[in-house]
């Protein structure tokens, strides 16, 4: 049945609700964010930790002490990097983008599933825990390998994010560095129906399994620079190109001239106010710099703050362009020695829980995603075979061409009669 009224989104499904959720609320007009309705993100960032947030997202409630401790143990038990991942990282790292390496590694984890046929919620939670724990370790090893360093086995005395930093740098992080990396994991854990989560749901809605959904959906989609893929890295590179804080204004003015370029780390489809996550990252970056002064980070911070001021003057009121989470993330990662090429893989490792939680929620009332596109071309255009007269064998048997059909290279009278004859012939032949 054809619907008379056609609703077409402005593009990019802007303003379209694709599902109901209790996972995350974003108030884009006022720059506010809640996970599972708990106190706003600022409170979780200050007081919570990644394991607690992951539990909250997966199970819908905050864990008590015993539940949190059991959840932590389950994550720790899954931290090892499986053998095939070493091969993939070693084989691909020299040639492939880190997100391609990570996507392939995540995909490979399906071969270690204890019981692929078990589709129960319990089995899916088990898979989510495996994916959350192992993705962080894989990213750490990717970083080690790229620097020509050996694998550092996980340390079970450390929490999830601190262990990640340890497996990456080989040094146990101090309290402040551990807080900063955990903060980034918390802030990236979930963010509504962003492109990678939506894409995870689209794949999952076909009833493909968790591994397929987070690989094709999450890890593949996050690679693009308009989403997570390298906006923080690009913002950091811009700060390095600016070099001297006094060059900031000229650089930004020139970049924006005639709408020439976008400044990475600014703008958001949903936030038309300051992204609350960006404010948190800025606050902790300033705090870290105060306590652990570094010349490099100080310069980056000055550039970032001057760029932010100018961008706010120029674009916040006119176009609703504000800093997003990626703008201050680069200098913060640099402050704790995380290399730029790992920024997006870390985003993926943190968001793994959000992808899984959304998928499990969607599966409770699964319906295949199958939108329409509004065909605006012509129909019944004249068909002129490109091979007519030269290569009849190229024609598909049964293709109708003005009353004739091609069968086994012979042009025969078309229509039902011929098809009946050939079907009968086949039937007799196979008796």
Quick note: the x/- pattern for ligand CMC over 37-66, rule CB under 6 A, is ------------------------------
5, 372 contact by CB (below 8 A): no
Q: Which is nearer to ligand CMC, 219 or 321 (CB)?
A: 321
Q: Which is nearer to ligand CMC, 42 or 67 (CB)?
A: 42
Q: Which is nearer to ligand CMC, 323 or 414 (CB)?
A: 323
Residue 29 binding ligand CMC, by CB under 6 A? no
Quick note: the x/- pattern for ligand CMC over 175-194, rule CB under 6 A, is ----------------x--x
Residue 266 binding ligand CMC, by CB under 6 A? yes
What spatial distance separates the first Cα and last Cα of the chain, rounded to whole Å? 43
Q: How far is the CB of 307 from ligand CMC (least distance, A)?
A: 11
Distance CA 85, CA 87 (A): 5
Residues in 298-337 at the binding interface with ligand CMC, rule: CB under 6 A: 319, 321, 324-326
Helix axis angle for 326-335 and 295-311, nearest 10°, is 170
Distance CA 41, CA 34 (A): 6
Helix, strand or coil for residue 338? coil
CA dihedral of 102, 107, 111, 115, whole degrees rounded to 10: 120
If binding means CB under 6 A, how many residues of this protein chain bind ligand CMC?
21
Length of the chain, in residues: 431
Residue 267 binding ligand CMC, by CB under 6 A? yes
- From the number of C-beta atoms within 10 Å of its C-beta (0-12, 13-18, 19+), residue 148 rates as exposed
CA dihedral sign, ordered 236, 241, 247, 253 = negative
Q: How far is the CB of 66 from ligand CMC (least distance, A)?
A: 34
Quick note: the x/- pattern for ligand CMC over 188-227, rule CB under 6 A, is ---x--x-------------------------------xx
Residue 263 binding ligand CMC, by CB under 6 A? yes
Residues in 370-429 at the binding interface with ligand CMC, rule: CB under 6 A: none
Residue 25 binding ligand CMC, by CB under 6 A? no
Q: How far is the CB of 339 from ligand CMC (least distance, A)?
A: 19
Q: Pairing between strand 400-401 and 404-407?
A: antiparallel
97 noted as active-site residue: no
Distance CA 242, CA 126 (A): 46
Picking from 175, 113, 106, 172, the residue whose alpha carbon sits closest to that of residue 142 is 106
Angle value at C-alpha 226, between 370 and 250, nearest 5 degrees: 160
392, 409 contact by CB (below 8 A): yes
Distance CA 323, CA 273 (A): 8
Distance CA 406, CA 421 (A): 14
* Near ligand CMC by CB under 6 A: residue from 94, 148, 258, 259: 259
Residue 269 binding ligand CMC, by CB under 6 A? yes
Give the binding range for ligand CMC (CB under 6 A) out of 93-101, 125-133, 156-164, 263-271: 263-271
* Near ligand CMC by CB under 6 A: residue from 231, 238, 280, 407: 231
326 noted as active-site residue: yes
140, 338 contact by CB (below 8 A): no
Picking from 293, 295, 321, the residue whose alpha carbon sits closest to that of residue 308 is 321
Give the binding range for ligand CMC (CB under 6 A) out of 147-155, 202-210, 258-266, 331-339: 258-266
Given 188, 209, 326, 395, which residue is catalytic? 326
Q: Which is nearer to ligand CMC, 12 or 39 (CB)?
A: 12
Residues noted as catalytic: 268, 326
- The binding site for ligand CMC (CB under 6 A) comprises 12, 191, 194, 226-228, 231, 259, 262-269, 319, 321, 324-326
């Amino acid at each position: 049945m054809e619907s008379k009224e056609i609703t077409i989104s402005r593009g990019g499904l802007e303003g379209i609700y694709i599902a109901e959720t209790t996972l995350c609320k974003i108030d884009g007009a006022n720059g506010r964010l809640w996970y599972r309705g708990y106190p706003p993100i600022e409170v979780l960032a200050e007081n919570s930790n990644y394991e607690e947030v992951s539990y909250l997202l997966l199970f819908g409630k905050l864990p008590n002490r015993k539940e949190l401790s059991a959840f932590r143990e389950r994550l720790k038990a899954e931290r090892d990097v499986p053998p095939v991942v070493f091969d993939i990282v070693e084989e691909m790292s020299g040639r492939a983008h880190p997100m391609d390496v990570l996507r392939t590694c995540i995909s490979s984890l399906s071969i270690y599933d204890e019981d692929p046929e078990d589709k129960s919620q319990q089995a899916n939670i088990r898979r989510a825990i495996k994916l959350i724990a192992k993705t962080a370790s894989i990213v750490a090893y990717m970083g080690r390998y790229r620097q020509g360093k050996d694998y550092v086995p996980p340390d079970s005395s450390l929490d999830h994010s601190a262990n990640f930093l340890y497996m990456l740098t080989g040094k146990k992080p101090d309290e402040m560095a551990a807080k900063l990396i955990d903060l980034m994991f918390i802030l990236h854990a979930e963010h509504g129906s962003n492109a990678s989560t939506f894409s995870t749901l689209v794949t999952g809605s076909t009833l493909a399994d968790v591994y397929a959904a987070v690989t094709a959906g999450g890890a593949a989609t996050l690679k693009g620079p308009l989403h997570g893929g390298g906006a923080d890295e690009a913002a950091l590179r811009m700060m390095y190109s600016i070099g001297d804080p006094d060059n900031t204004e000229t650089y930004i003015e020139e970049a924006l001239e005639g709408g020439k370029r976008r400044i990475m780390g600014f703008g958001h489809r949903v936030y038309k106010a300051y992204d609350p996550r960006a404010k948190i990252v800025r606050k902790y970056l300033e705090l870290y710099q105060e306590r652990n002064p570094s010349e490099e980070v100080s310069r980056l911070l000055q550039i970032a703050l001057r760029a932010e001021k100018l961008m706010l003057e120029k674009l916040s009121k006119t176009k609703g362009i504000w800093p997003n989470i990626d703008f201050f993330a680069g200098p913060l990662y640099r402050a704790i020695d995380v290399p730029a090429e790992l920024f997006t893989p870390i985003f993926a490792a943190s968001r793994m829980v959000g992808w899984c939680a959304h998928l499990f929620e969607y599966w409770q009332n699964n319906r295949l995603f199958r939108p329409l596109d509004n065909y605006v071309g012509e129909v019944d255009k004249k068909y002129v075979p490109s091979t007519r007269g030269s290569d009849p064998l190229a024609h598909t048997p049964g293709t109708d061409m003005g009353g004739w059909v091609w069968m086994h290279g012979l042009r025969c009278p078309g229509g039902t009669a011929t098809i009946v004859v050939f079907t009968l012939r086949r039937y007799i032949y196979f008796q």
